Amino acid sequence: AQTVTQSQPEMSVQEAETVTLSCTYDTSESDYYLFWYKQPPSRQMILVIRQEAYKQQNATENRFSVNFQKAAKSFSLKISDSQLGDAAMYFCAYRNTKTSYDKVIFGPGTSLSVIP
Amino acid sequence: EAQVTQNPRYLITVTGKKLTVTCSQNMNHEYMSWYRQDPGLGLRQIYYSMNVEVTDKGDVPEGYKVSRKEKRNFPLILESPSPNQTSLYFCASSLSLVISKQYFGPGTRLTVT
């Protein structure tokens, strides 16, 4: 069965500094998607970044980038120039969708605090 | 505006009283899912639907039912709610197999006493 692990329940970062959130997953599939979602206190789920497993190039979105290591089944999120608005819960998610099923697994989350 | 709506946003009910949480999307998406979010566990998939009249169990389906009679709607039904179903519930939709981005609803906070 697929699993997603986030080993850091809580992290903190100084404003303007860089922080990396860890995520590992387990799957026997070769074709899947990985995501990082942000959940602020409003509880809204906001997509931060997406990575297709068949792409070797790491995805980037402005200050957010990932380090995707397929063989190691690792998918970490790097936030550069951290801002107060980055404080939130961050979830790593795995999605494997075929014609017969749509499996989505979330990690337990990492709570990120940003220190002014 | 493209969106996923859920109703109600907050609900307090008693054990055994049947309830339905509605979910609707206006993007003509094929795929829809229900999740529950609990502290320390992240979001867990309850049920999903890959098209009208096509639904299947996720990881935690016990105590829940769903239906997909129309493409836009995917209600979650709790026939006999119990306190262990107290949780934050999210509905999500996505366009297709290739377009994998999920759009999430605002969430429904359910308390069963």
pLDDT band at residue B113 using 50, 70 and 90 as cut-offs: very high
Token pair 């996720």 in the structure block, residue: B58
Token pair 């402005």 in the structure block, residue: A62
- Interface residue B41 vs chain A (CB under 8 A): yes
Taking one residue from A and the other from B, the number of pairs with CB-CB distance under 8 angstroms is 56
- Interface residue B16 vs chain A (CB under 8 A): no
Tally the residues of chain B: 113
Chain B closest CA to A58's CA: distance in Å? Answer: 17
Question: What DSSP element (H or E) covers B81?
Answer: none
Residues in chain A with pLDDT values less than 50:
none
Take residue B25 and report the two structure tokens written for it: 């999307």
Token pair 């999740």 in the structure block, residue: B35
Nearest CB to B33: which of A9, A50, A104?
A104
The DSSP code sequence of B11-70 is: EEE-TT--EEEEEEESS--SEEEEEEEETTTEEEEEEEEEETTEEEE-S--TT-EE--SS
Helix, strand or coil for residue A84? Answer: helix
pLDDT tens for each residue of B17-37? 999 999 999 999 999 999 999
Alpha-carbon distance B64 to B67, whole Å? Answer: 11
What pLDDT is attached to residue A14? 98
What pLDDT is attached to residue B101? 84
- Interface residue A36 vs chain B (CB under 8 A): no
What pLDDT is attached to residue A98? 78
- Interface residue B42 vs chain A (CB under 8 A): yes
Take residue B67 and report the two structure tokens written for it: 């239906």
Strands B10-13 and A46-52: unpaired
Average pLDDT, chain B: 95
Cα distances (Å, whole numbers) of residue B60 to A70, B36, B52 = 28, 9, 21
Helix, strand or coil for residue A17? Answer: coil
Q: Please give the residue that has the higher pLDDT: either B98 or B5.
A: B5
Alpha-carbon distance B17 to A103, whole Å? Answer: 30
pLDDT tens for each residue of A6-15? 999 999 999 9
Q: Cβ contacts (< 8 Å) between A52 and chain B: which residues? A: 100
Q: Please give the residue that has the higher pLDDT: either B110 or B95.
A: B110
The DSSP code sequence of A22-58 is: --EEE-S-SS-EEEEEEE-TT---EEEEEEETT--SP
Q: Is residue B99 predicted with pLDDT exceeding 70?
A: no
Q: Is residue B98 predicted with pLDDT exceeding 80?
A: no
What pLDDT is attached to residue A102? 85
Take residue B110 and report the two structure tokens written for it: 């359910």
What pLDDT is attached to residue B100? 72
